Structure 1
Amino acid sequence: MSELSQLSPQPLWDIFAKICSIPHPSYHEEELANYVLSWAGEQGFVTFRDEVGNILIRKPATKGLEHLKPVALQAHLDMVPQKNNDTTHDFTKDPIQPWVDGEWVKARGTTLGADNGIGMASALAVLADKTVEHGPLEVLLTMTEETGMVGAFGLQPGWLQADILINTDSEEEGEIYMGCAGGIDFTTTLPLSREAVPAGYEHIQLILKGLKGGHSGADIHLGLGNANKLLARFLFAHAKALDLRLVDFTGGTLRNAIPREAMATLAVPADKLDQLKGMALHYLETLRNELGLKEKNINIVVENIAANDQALSTISRDAFIALLNSTPNGVIRNSDVMKGVVETSLNVGVVSIKDDEARINCLVRSLIDSGKDYLVETLTALGDLAGAKTVAKGSYPGWQPDASSPVMALVEETYKKLFNKAPNIQVIHAGLECGLFKKPYPDMDMVSIGPTITGPHSPDEQVHIGSVGLYWQLLTALLKAIPAK
């Protein structure tokens, strides 16, 4: 933590270091929430908590700025728990271990939690720093954003007093976000039957690993490998020809993270084991040729194991592999309205087999409702063809861009004055809570800003130190520039 205390702005980095020291993956934010409430109380701020656990902290205006419009700074309390396979880490008990690597802050073998810990730290630093000038101020910290936007869904009207909300969950310095994609979770459940493995078979694990992974919205356009899809592609090509018997399949850990690893447990005819290994090596070369510029560490491992589990029947094997192989993934359509922005996508995030059923969990995103509906219909049709049960749930709206937003214009003007260049006005292909806030607060003017964070939702997550300083300059200048009520 001492490394971070040497960085500037110091109050922000000190608070972020404290956030890293308290475990706070989704659904396990309570310890961090209690710390924030205790800290805010010690500082003399008025605090509130609603029925779903959201935290609201109020701070009076700087003397002489009481006439400004009240502003809410908003961040979410939880982080995405992802770790490298060779890293031992319990996200519910162990602290994140941040470290400085040149111009970046990273974590040792895990996600860093800069998404949205840096935003949270900036909001709390504004509360703590007596030199920051501002009008009436609120800080809103929401619960469990990463796995269903629980806090945003539960936010009630009349709680916030602010006219303007500044969301801190964006991940590119120099960009102002004025809209985001909506999304929906989609689960396909396929019934399976099992039978004994024939005599003369050996059991192996076929592991596809070493992929970068990443955020299933912000990184979906990068063309990164999806371990679930890549392993399904191999099995579809060779399972019948080699008479492979599928015992188990597991891949991915979160529906909003691009899967980095997938593993199939197989029973293989002993006389075809060498052939399988050769095909796996050939497939690895194919993937390195296709993805090698982006996925430099991709690897396929074949390991012999001792097992006597029953395998899927050949009918169930073929149905599962065909369903997973044909499930769409990645960018479906780019926006015609916002050039360079993905309109509609999905991520085949988590795949698992348990006893007599297989589950495929996807996250669908789209800037427009019709794009989301189209993918739901496509996945439903695939499920029907395979004889599977399908469920779409947890739909959340996008944040409709407002080109006439006064706060967006103010951020743009403030950025130009500070840095003598124009920022990019963007719509992000990820879920920000602003779309949900518009329901209880339809007249609230909203904007989203943040520092540069790469690799969110993966152990490669890192935050650019210099961009945090620029973001802090923008945020504090913006608070002073808020117009009169």
Structure 2
Amino acid sequence: MQNVIEIFKEITALNRCSGNYEDFISYIKGFSSKYEYECLIDNYNNILCKKRDSKATLCFQNHYDIVCLIDNNIPKIVEENGFFKAENSTLGADNGIGCSYMLSLMSQGYDCEFLFTSDEEIGLIGANNLEHNLNAKYMLNIDSEEEGEICIGCAGGVDIFGKHYGKKIIKNSDNYELYEIEISKLPGGHSGVNIHENRPNAIKLFGKLVKENGGLLLDINAGERINSIPVNVKAIVAFKDYPTNFDEEFICINKCDTKSEHLNIWSSDITTFIYTFANGVRAYDNNLNVVLDSINLAKIKTNIDSIEVELSARSMDNKNLETIKKETASLLEHFGFEVKTAGKYPAWKPDVNEFTNEVLNIYKTYDLNASLEAIHAGLECAIFKDKFPHMKIASIGPNIFNPHSNKESVEINSIKKIGKIVKEIADKF
């Protein structure tokens, strides 16, 4: 697996932002041809590579799209103190590293099924709509982000969307003045993996500022991706007086030069919803040391005639997930939003079997503390277990820190260590 890092650098130079397929598909076609693999692409841009007369019992699977906080961003890799990171952007180690392990195995001629799925980061679209048939008995996903943990279960999730049309023009009889609000420099992070760390949510900070200072909302654009803890807010708000009691480290407030006799404002129900919404962890299991239920207020933006919010709910239990969905929809409707849901994927119930046990045995030769775990994040494994019930599935990965944020990094020694484990698993099955 000596070429994993070299391959990672090659594919990082491609545009792999969610929704962009051409660069990576072109790369994979050339790579497959070079090493004599079939390269099959379905209508959802999922890529399956395998030998023509494959007798594969093991499928390796990863998504190839990455979170880009700036559209069409190509990460510039920086090596620092034993880590790879990127210059002022996400790195795409999630899941460029997993793809690189697979490509390395292909370069060595392994008879496995290699499945590269599309648009995982914007709703597991590729996995949900997979048209390829998989024949392998076992699947190893390499999309986990903490060394030593072998994931055998994960949370299910659903995306919730609200749209509000409550806009009106009022006379500025109370002499409100306009202010530009900008929130930035927050840590951000993954709305599942990092949700229990109480990282500040930019939209919640905004709601607190506006509600506690009697503000009126005119315009807002906040949040980056539905599966990220929001980092940025840009908004125009009317206040009678300059706001007080806010964190100047993250919140910048500038008075606008213009003053209007009339204000085109959004309903106060919108800011009341943001202010009162119970964001973050809803239930935690101290025995398993895992979040059970959570929800993240991820995005909000104004259009010409409507304002839209996006939320992402997760649960380790499908019944609880349905409850959170219904409660959140009801709450949004109470505040005047029209509601729809999408992108639901099931929870993956933990399953210990001959495959997970063998993966654990191999892993323990490199790390005696390795263990079988469940995580509070959505993995495509849940969908594949639903589509292919016969499959035995596990997920591993190197140490990746702060995914979905500008602080994303991956530990180089961990890449090498997991590479050895991946190769041993490929040799075993």
> Do they fold alike, i.e. is TM over 0.5?
yes
* Aligned residues of 1:176 and 1:426 also touching (Cα < 8 A): yes
Distance in 1 of aligned mates of 2:192 and 2:26: 30
Which residue identity is paired with 1:383? L
Q: Deviations over 1:56-88 (max 9, x none)?
A: 111489xxxx98x621111111000125xxxxx
How much has 1:382 moved relative to structure 2? Answer: 1.3
Does structure 1 residue 324 correspond to structure 2 residue 274? yes
Does structure 1 residue 428 correspond to structure 2 residue 394? no
Q: Deviations over 1:252-304 (max 9, x none)?
A: 021101001223312334xx23xx2xx0xx3227xxxxxxxxxxxx4211113
Distance in 2 of aligned mates of 1:126 and 1:386: 53
Which residue identity is paired with 1:469? K
Partner residue in 2 for 1:254: 225
**Match 2:191 to one of 207, 210, 216:** 216
Partner residue in 1 for 2:256: 305
- Between the aligned residues of both structures, percent identity stands at 29
Partner residue in 1 for 2:91: 112
Distance in 1 of aligned mates of 2:239 and 2:194: 36
SS at match of 1:248: strand
Partner residue in 1 for 2:417: 470
SS at match of 2:3: helix
**Match 1:198 to one of 172, 175, 179:** 172
Does structure 1 residue 382 correspond to structure 2 residue 331? yes
Which residue identity is paired with 2:414? S
* Aligned residues of 2:44 and 2:118 also touching (Cα < 8 A): yes
Distance in 1 of aligned mates of 2:52 and 2:414: 28
**Match 1:245 to one of 210, 216, 219:** 216
* Aligned residues of 2:216 and 2:268 also touching (Cα < 8 A): no
TM-score normalised according to structure 2 size: 0.94
SS at match of 2:122: coil
* Aligned residues of 2:61 and 2:141 also touching (Cα < 8 A): yes
Residue ranges of structure 1 left out of the alignment (5+ in a row): 1-8, 84-90, 286-297
* Aligned residues of 1:350 and 1:361 also touching (Cα < 8 A): yes
Distance in 1 of aligned mates of 2:24 and 2:391: 28
Distance in 2 of aligned mates of 1:10 and 1:342: 37
* Aligned residues of 2:47 and 2:116 also touching (Cα < 8 A): yes
Distance in 2 of aligned mates of 1:197 and 1:442: 62
SS at match of 2:407: coil
**Match 1:163 to one of 137, 144, 152:** 137
**Match 1:456 to one of 403, 422, 425:** 403
* Aligned residues of 1:11 and 1:129 also touching (Cα < 8 A): no
Distance in 2 of aligned mates of 1:257 and 1:17: 24
Which residue identity is paired with 1:323? F
How much has 1:407 moved relative to structure 2? Answer: 1.2
Partner residue in 1 for 2:246: 283
How much has 1:172 moved relative to structure 2? Answer: 0.7
Going from structure 1 to structure 2, the CA distance change for 1:14 and 1:308 (only over 3 Å counts) comes to: farther
Partner residue in 2 for 1:344: 293
Q: Deviations over 1:313-367 (max 9, x none)?
A: 5xx442111111122211110136x611111111100011223322110001111
How much has 1:52 moved relative to structure 2? Answer: 1.6
- In the TM superposition, structure 1's runs of 4+ consecutive aligned residues that sit over 6 Å from their partners are none
How much has 1:250 moved relative to structure 2? Answer: 2.1
**Match 1:411 to one of 353, 359, 380:** 359
Which residue identity is paired with 2:99? M
Higher alpha-carbon deviation: 385-394 or 14-23: 385-394
What's the Cα RMSD here? 2.1
SS at match of 2:359: helix
* Aligned residues of 1:173 and 1:470 also touching (Cα < 8 A): no
Does structure 1 residue 28 correspond to structure 2 residue 28? no
* Aligned residues of 2:178 and 2:238 also touching (Cα < 8 A): yes
* Aligned residues of 1:250 and 1:264 also touching (Cα < 8 A): yes
* Aligned residues of 2:43 and 2:131 also touching (Cα < 8 A): no
Query: What are the within-5 Å matches in structure 2 for residues 345-384 of structure 1?
Result: 345-384=294-333
Partner residue in 1 for 2:123: 148
SS at match of 2:121: coil
Does structure 1 residue 395 correspond to structure 2 residue 366? no
Q: Deviations over 1:151-185 (max 9, x none)?
A: 1111246x222111100100011110001111111
How much has 1:385 moved relative to structure 2? Answer: 1.9
* Aligned residues of 2:213 and 2:239 also touching (Cα < 8 A): no
* Aligned residues of 1:207 and 1:300 also touching (Cα < 8 A): yes
* Aligned residues of 1:330 and 1:346 also touching (Cα < 8 A): yes
How much has 1:305 moved relative to structure 2? Answer: 2.9
How much has 1:196 moved relative to structure 2? Answer: 4.6
Residue ranges of structure 2 left out of the alignment (5+ in a row): none
* Aligned residues of 1:155 and 1:437 also touching (Cα < 8 A): no
Higher alpha-carbon deviation: 386-395 or 139-148: 386-395
Higher alpha-carbon deviation: 14-23 or 36-45: 36-45
SS at match of 2:115: strand
Aligned pair count reads 427
- Bigger Rg, structure 1 or 2: 1
Which residue identity is paired with 1:79? I
